[in-house]
Amino acid sequence: MNSLEFVTLVAKEKASMLTMYFEPNSGAAVSTAISELNLTAEQKEKMKAIVNDVLTDTFYNFILALDGSASLGDDQRIYDLKDDHGNRLSGSGELEAAAWELFQNPKNETTEPNQSV
């Protein structure tokens, strides 16, 4: 695995979570809470955009923290993230570059704001 493959998996997880949160029968606590709001279709789309942005910011910042280019809490350091074959994924700036490409690059936007995968 390389940094781009890792970040791609994280982006897929983010997309999966967003879908689950807005699927009424998913069983997720967030889904239940959103359903209980009885939002109009327009309000639901606005809520989905907000949740999408929150997930994007959270995952993006966490990836940057692993790579040492952002703080995790109030502590900034480079973490030594490796796959099960010993391939180093963090510390070289490759995680940061892949995260920007998949989470922040406007050319990757789809119908969901900042959702690229």
| pLDDT one-digit tens code per residue, 3-20 | 999 999 999 999 999 999
Domain residue extents for the chain: 3-108
The pLDDT score that the predictor gives to residue 62 is 93
The residues, ordered by sequence, that sit 6+ positions from 45 with a Cβ below 8 Å of its Cβ are none
The residues, ordered by sequence, that sit 6+ positions from 61 with a Cβ below 8 Å of its Cβ are 70
What's the predicted TM-score (pTM) here? Answer: 0.83
The residues, ordered by sequence, that sit 6+ positions from 82 with a Cβ below 8 Å of its Cβ are 88, 89
Residue 12 vs residue 109, higher pLDDT = 12
**Is the pLDDT reported for residue 115 higher than 50?**
no
Q: How far apart are CA 97 and CA 15, in angstroms?
A: 19
- Each residue of 44-99: pLDDT tens digit? 999 999 999 999 999 999 999 999 889 889 999 888 898 899 988 887 888 999 99
Residue 109 pLDDT grade (very low, low, confident, very high; cuts 50, 70, 90): low
Kindly report the backbone phi and psi dihedral angles of residue 45, in degrees, each rounded to the nearest multiple of 5, phi listed first.
-65, -40
